[in-house]
Amino acid sequence: MAEVITMPRLSDTMTEGKVAKWHKNVGDKVKEGDILAEIETDKAVQGFRI
């Protein structure tokens, strides 16, 4: 089941993105600068950081 979440735009032309890969699991410790996921947009795949 898909769940819609609001996220910051990663480019000026981005209208939507899809999580291509999660880098963290539920319960993992995270710190500033960690990549949480890879986001696939209309033009590229980018790391989404804290």
pLDDT per position as a tens digit, 3-40: 787 877 777 888 888 889 999 999 999 999 999 999 88
* Per-residue pLDDT at 29: 94
State the residue range of the domain holding 45.
1-50
State pTM to two decimals.
0.66
Residue 48 confidence (pLDDT): 78
Strand stretches in the chain, DSSP E: 18-22, 35-40, 45-49
pLDDT at 45 > cutoff 90: no
pLDDT at site 44? 83
CATH number at residue 32: 2.40.50.100
Domain count, the chain: 1
Sign of the dihedral through C-alpha 17, 18, 20, 21:
positive
